[in-house]
A and B are shown apart, each in its own frame.
Chain A
Amino acid sequence: MQIQKYIYVIFCLVVFKNHSQNKKFIFGNNDVPQSLLLNPGEEVSYKKHIGIPFVSGLYFNIGSNNLTVKDIVSDDGVDINDKIRNLIFKLKSTDYITVNEQVDVINIGYKLKNDKDYLNFGFYQEFDFVAYYPKDLAVLFYQGNTDINGNIELNSNTNFNQISFKGQAFGVFHAGISRKINKRLNVGARVKLYSGSFNVQSVNNKGSFSTVLGENNMYQHQLNNVSFLAQSSGILKDDEVSFSAKSLMSNLFVGGNFGLGVDVGFSYRLNERTSLSASALDIGFISYSKDVSSYSIKGNYAFEGIGLLFPEQDQPISYWEDLILDFDEQLVREEKHKTYISFPSAKINAGLLYGFGKQIRMLSNSISCNTNKGFSVSKYQNEIGAQFYSILRPQFPQMAATVFYNRRLGTFLKTKISYTIDNYLFSNVGFGFSTQINKLNFYAAVDNILGYEDLFNSKKTSFSLGANLIFD
């Protein structure tokens, strides 16, 4: 029971709300080659780049809105059970935990001789997990179906649609092209071949549990319109756990769970100072067929108790056995091993950028390209802008809006400070920088820097960093 208890507490501790994968520092920052992964139509001013393997792009994100580690385990003299109780009822079924991690393993790009197309390709690994807080079930588990005054919760539904989670790890082989259409417009696309390592998901569940006044007995318990499905791949084989570090790594490359996806994007110069860019990422699917397992429950069931019939002597009625049989007939449970489709979380990024102040010529190649026709490839010392981000999640899209200010310190350093607002967090200030030392390009960014004042009281933690070699 200790384990169950700790799992429960840990779950409570990590019910987070955030906007995973919102790499606001990298999007629109074409000093960093990884910006092409966020917008394949990003304008590129250098001739080629090579990401330093495994460190060209590291990203990790976890966050919260109204909950911190401190809320539960701070040494404040308040009984932890009171804190947990408040938490159980405070959190909403729309709250969720999300964890996202990405490692850019190989990333290479080069400009074709036509000086218009920038080809780029590589391989990255990603883990993404989202699980919503199943509030009704949590309350049912926490206090049972009876309140602290001993009254049964009549007519209140425990909704199974709140059970919603999806986690997957996959490798992505990708190849993209960014084409300069004219002086204003740059468009791009990327094709992705996914290799799913493992997946576990249960989404679009339906049904409810409730207790009402009975006809023959005091109460009737009901399972109404239950439709539950949980699927997994790469985790179970012949009812045994098949997941291991070895299988995780090998499946990332050629695991047998293949999928396809595309990214598209563009950047458009409205005038010399203003540009607009947008992208749609991970529009695709992964077909899971290796070590797949799915478990489903469907049906309705109503239970009023054991109705005694007082049969003749020596003719006992197997009430309990009949009950189990009826339950199994009414509520059909099936385990299958069939291929299924899962969708990576599609994302949309958009940004508007306005440059002002003095212009800085970034790369020697750019100098020759500097035109006098109104559109310079040189960059402004100051930039302000706004970004929009959205990611499709099982229950509803998550969105965030960011305003930012960029400041260049010579050709050496670019800094960015951002303020992001979403439905839950209103104090998210981020900071990042990218630097170019000879051919070495390095960048790092942290989100919610105010939270670093006290990590245990932080509602969101996110960082990204990477290193590349850029040749102009």
Chain B
Amino acid sequence: MKRHVKYLLKILILGTVLSCTSTIDLNQLDTVELNQSLTSTFVYLKVNQNNFLNNTSNTELTSLSDVSVIDIFDSDYVQENIITSNFSFEIENSFNRDFILDIAFLNADNNTTKSFTINVPRNSSISHFQSYEGLDLLSLKLSQKVRITLYLQPSDDASILTEGNEMNFELKSFTNFVLKVN
């Protein structure tokens, strides 16, 4: 019996001695950071020459404007962790007229937080990339709406648009948020 008890004890002691741990450093957890890059479709529009015609007065509208709420900065997670906000635009203009595209971000009181313009030449396809970081991003984060205004530039020969001969202005866009979580 004694011999067996000793045998058992040896097993237990051996198990205890062999049970050890390697060096770990839990402080490393403080340096963990996540880098997220989130791409989302944004606004789009497609207008033709009829959108710029005032049928009642037979005159040309010089601009079209529209506003939409964008709730993307309402999230605490985005507010705390966003480091870059990028906007990409693809524009196709088959009008024989130039455009100026004005994109303005607005706060709750409809005051502009950030804005930029894109010159779109007649019969062109262009891309535009707009990026906000640092202080510019701080302003942008106050935005709750986006307003897009399309300014039709006068023709060289003072002619105005007519219903026939279809021309289109098409805009596609997406936004990319880079977040650093630590």
Contact = CB atoms under 8 A, between A and B. Distances in A.
A397 interface: no
A220 B174 CA distance: 10
A81 interface: yes
A216 B46 contact: yes
A308 B68 contact: yes
A320 B69 contact: yes
Contacts of A317: 66, 68
A305 B15 contact: no
A433 B26 CA distance: 36
A221 B41 contact: yes
Interface string A100-144: 000000000000000000000000000000000000000001111
A375 to B, nearest CB: 29
A308 B8 contact: no
Secondary structure at the A interface, as helix, strand, loop or mixed, is: mixed
**Interface residue range, chain B:** 35 or more
Contact of B19 (A69, A306, A308, A455): A455
Contacts of A8: 34
A317 B66 CA distance: 9
Interface stretch (A54-62, A251-259, A408-416): A408-416
B4 A409 contact: yes
Nearest to B150: A310
A152 B176 CA distance: 9
Interface string B144-182: 000010100000000000000000000011101101011
B31 A306 contact: no
A220 B41 contact: yes
B51 A305 contact: no
Interface in B48-90: 51, 64-71, 77, 80-81, 88, 90
A218 B37 contact: no
Contact of B36 (A142, A412, A449): A142
A144 B41 contact: no
Contacts of A73: 24-26, 28-29
- Most chain B CB within 10 A, of A141, A218, A303, is at A218
Interface in A254-312: 303-311
A452 B18 contact: yes
Contact of B173 (A150, A211, A217): A217
B9 to A, nearest CB: 12
Contacts of B71: 320
Contacts of A308: 43-45, 66, 68, 148
B8 A452 contact: no
B130 interface: no
B45 A452 contact: no
Contact of B24 (A74, A319, A446): A74
A456 B44 contact: no
Contacts of B148: 308
A456 B22 contact: yes
Contact of A306 (B20, B26, B47, B68): B68
B79 to A, nearest CB: 11
A409 B47 CA distance: 92
Contact of A143 (B32, B36, B51): B36
B36 A454 contact: no
A310 B4 contact: no
Contacts of B7: 409, 413
Interface of A: 1, 4-6, 8-9, 69-70, 73-75, 79-81, 84, 141-148, 150, 152, 211, 214, 216-221, 303-311, 316-321, 409-410, 412-413, 431, 433, 435, 446, 449, 452-457
6 contacts: A144-B37, A214-B44, A217-B174, A307-B44, A321-B69, A453-B20
Nearest 10 Cβ contacts at the A-B interface: A320-B69, A146-B37, A305-B41, A217-B44, A75-B25, A319-B68, A144-B36, A144-B38, A80-B28, A144-B37
Interface of B: 1, 4, 7-8, 11, 15, 18-26, 28-29, 31-47, 51, 64-71, 77, 80-81, 88, 90, 148, 150, 172-174, 176-177, 179, 181-182
Given A144-B37, A306-B43, 15 more contacts: A1-B77, A4-B181, A70-B24, A81-B33, A141-B36, A148-B37, A214-B44, A218-B90, A306-B44, A308-B44, A310-B66, A311-B66, A320-B68, A431-B11, A453-B18
